């Protein structure tokens, strides 16, 4: 058993940055970080485009960044949270640079080469070629490894958070009725379940893309933190808003994860064309190819249905070959590996599940409805994104809320003691030799259900069919879980079924179309629903 001051579950930008901020506020406290596979396998590593922040006051303003974010969020953003993030964002990015992150500068100049992406009215995207997330994570990892009080645990999977429920009191978002004391975990090299006791616990478990067949997320994006919080009766918000990135590279073989063609490529001049080679985004939005992602994804979906094809095309031939190679070397390598040359060929692209705008409901300090439990990054719902995330705001949110959570949770650490009397995991289970086959088949069914019934365009009938099928999967998996030895694969399946239910149930409650949620039964916005959807 480990006793720690702060347990952080997740090792992407949100988890690592939060740890570094806690160290600033409480230099002597112990911090333990869990990574369920390797430290380097997380959504941050796959982030291509960059991080948005107002960098040049002569050409941009926080007011403009705020308005762009509100426009993308389509009426559901918390304006005070948006203001907080865009105003504090530049300072957080400067700290990231101090930790060693390197962003591209203009040729022969000291100024940063600021990019522009869909929904942004100004050039404000700092980037490192087309592997920005990988560069940021490198800098954070190297800084973390020099910190003596931060302990890293790789191949350590969190099965559930440890909570105590107090009966007879009302549960609200800001008056916690439940307390968190740490987590039960299982390690790759062990068959037993351990407990880690913590004064404060931070969930930074990332996204939910693995619930879908086509996703830009890595295999670890199984929604673990959100599912654990829901099982513990914590509040979850806005799960119906799943962002599909418009331009993943189409693969007839179903490559997973889908390779992302960054929005920055369209910012550099590329544009979408249909099967006839005709540019079509002018028919859908005044910003054309740089419209918000929900608009572009639906437009592509519509063009695919009209043509009967499995994809549309991205025309990047107008970008000079040397410029493409300088700015998008990773994308160029991938294209050439599959026999495509962006200077000559049209690139086949298709929308893929990319980002969850909903998640664990938190306040302005990252505090969830469960006492001592915080959530940071994609697994949280802060109010920043509303019904649709503005491109490159996610990395920024992780930094700003990582610091806010660190500041808040650090205040009482010295006064708190570890909870006594926490029981060990109940290990009275037997091994089921059919487990792996059952898991594989159930996972395949889940992805089929979510990809067909709960994708970009929804309807009441499709959502109800999804709920019926998810209920059957849920009961089958819970039966297997109760009689089987705990394994990360079984826990991930269990979590993903929960996530599938949360997305689908939330979608049935929103009787309108807004942002990333579009239903053919209610195609218009309805001001009755200008509020968060809680489960």
**How many CB atoms sit inside 10 A of residue 407's CB?**
15
**How many CB atoms sit inside 10 A of residue 158's CB?**
24
Closest of 187, 256, 165 to residue 216, by C-alpha:
256
What one-character DSSP code corresponds to residue 258? P
Q: In Å, what is the CA distance from 97 to each residue of 102, 143, 406? A: 6, 12, 19
Q: How many contiguous H segments (helices) and E segments (strands) does the chain have?
A: 14, 19
Tokens representing residue 116 in the block:
């522009």
Taking the C-alpha atoms of residue 512 and residue 523, their distance in angstroms, rounded to an integer, is 6
- Look at the block and give the residue holding tokens 């439990």: 373
Closest of 409, 397, 522 to residue 458, by C-alpha:
522
Q: Residue 161: in which H helix or E strand, if any? A: strand 156-165
Strand pairing report for 236-237 and 359-361: antiparallel
Taking the C-alpha atoms of residue 407 and residue 399, their distance in angstroms, rounded to an integer, is 12
Strand order in the sheet with 236-237: 236-237, 359-361, 380-381
Tokens representing residue 219 in the block:
């295999």
* Active-site residue (options: 293, 389, 462, 514): 293
| Interaxial angle between packed helices 488-509 and 224-231, expressed in degrees from 0 to 180 and rounded to the nearest 10 | 80
Tokens representing residue 479 in the block:
């039966």
Q: Mark whether 94 is an active-site residue.
A: no
Q: Mapping DSSP to helix (H, G, I), strand (E, B) and coil, where does residue 527 land? A: helix
Q: Compute the chain's Rg from CA coordinates.
A: 22
Taking the C-alpha atoms of residue 415 and residue 52, their distance in angstroms, rounded to an integer, is 38
Closest of 41, 35, 27 to residue 7, by C-alpha:
35
Q: Which residues are catalytic?
A: 293
């Amino acid at each position: 058993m480990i006793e720690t001051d702060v347990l952080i579950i997740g090792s992407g930008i949100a988890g690592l940055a939060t740890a570094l901020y806690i160290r600033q506020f409480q230099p002597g406290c112990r911090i333990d970080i869990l990574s369920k596979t390797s430290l380097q396998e997380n959504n941050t590593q796959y982030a291509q485009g960059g991080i948005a922040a107002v960098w040049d006051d002569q050409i941009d303003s926080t007011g403009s960044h705020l308005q762009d974010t509100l426009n993308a969020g389509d009426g559901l953003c918390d304006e005070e949270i948006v203001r907080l993030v865009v105003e504090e964002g530049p300072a957080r990015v400067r700290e990231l640079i101090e930790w060693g992150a390197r962003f591209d500068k203009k040729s022969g100049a000291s100024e940063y080469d600021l990019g522009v992406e869909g929904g942004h009215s100004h050039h404000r995207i700092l980037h490192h070629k087309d592997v920005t997330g990988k560069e940021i994570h490198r800098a954070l990892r190297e800084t973390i490894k020099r910190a003596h009080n931060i302990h890293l645990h790789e191949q350590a999977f969190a099965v559930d958070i440890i909570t105590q429920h107090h009966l007879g009191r009302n549960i609200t978002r800001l008056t916690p009725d439940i307390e968190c004391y740490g987590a039960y975990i299982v390690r790759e090299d062990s068959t037993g379940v351990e407990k880690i006791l913590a004064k404060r616990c931070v969930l930074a478990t990332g996204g939910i893309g693995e619930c879908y067949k086509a996703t830009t997320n890595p295999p670890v994006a199984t929604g673990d933190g959100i599912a654990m919080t829901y099982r513990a009766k914590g509040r979850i918000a806005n799960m119906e808003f799943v962002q599909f990135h418009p331009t993943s590279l189409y693969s007839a073989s179903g490559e997973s994860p889908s390779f992302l063609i960054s929005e920055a490529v369209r910012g550099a001049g590329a544009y979408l064309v249909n099967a006839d080679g005709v540019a079509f985004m002018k028919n859908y939005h005044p910003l054309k190819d740089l419209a918000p992602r929900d608009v572009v994804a639906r437009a592509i979906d519509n063009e695919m249905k009209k043509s009967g094809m499995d994809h549309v095309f991205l025309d990047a031939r107008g970008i000079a070959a040397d410029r493409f190679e300088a700015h998008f070397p990773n994308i160029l390598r991938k294209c050439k590996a599959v026999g495509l040359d962006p200077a000559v060929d049209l690139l086949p692209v298709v929308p893929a599940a990319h980002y969850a705008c909903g998640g664990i409901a938190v306040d302005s300090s990252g505090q969830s409805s469960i006492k001592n439990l915080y959530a940071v990054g994609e697994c949280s719902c802060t109010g920043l994104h509303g019904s649709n995330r503005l491109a490159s705001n996610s990395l920024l949110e992780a930094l700003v809320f990582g610091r806010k959570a660190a500041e808040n949770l650090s205040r009482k650490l010295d006064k708190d003691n570890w909870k006594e009397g926490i029981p060990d995991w109940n290990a009275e289970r037997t091994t089921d030799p059919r487990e792996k086959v059952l898991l594989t088949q159930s996972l395949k069914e889940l992805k089929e259900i979510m990809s067909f019934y709960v994708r970009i365009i929804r309807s009441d009938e499709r959502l109800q069919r999804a709920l019926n099928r998810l209920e059957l999967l849920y009961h089958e998996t819970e039966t297997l879980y109760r009689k089987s030895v705990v394994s990360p694969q079984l826990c991930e399946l269990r979590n993903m079924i929960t996530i599938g239910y949360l997305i689908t149930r939330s979608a049935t409650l929103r009787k309108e179309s807004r942002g990333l949620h579009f239903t053919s039964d209610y195609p218009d916005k309805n001001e009755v629903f200008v509020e968060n959807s809680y489960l």
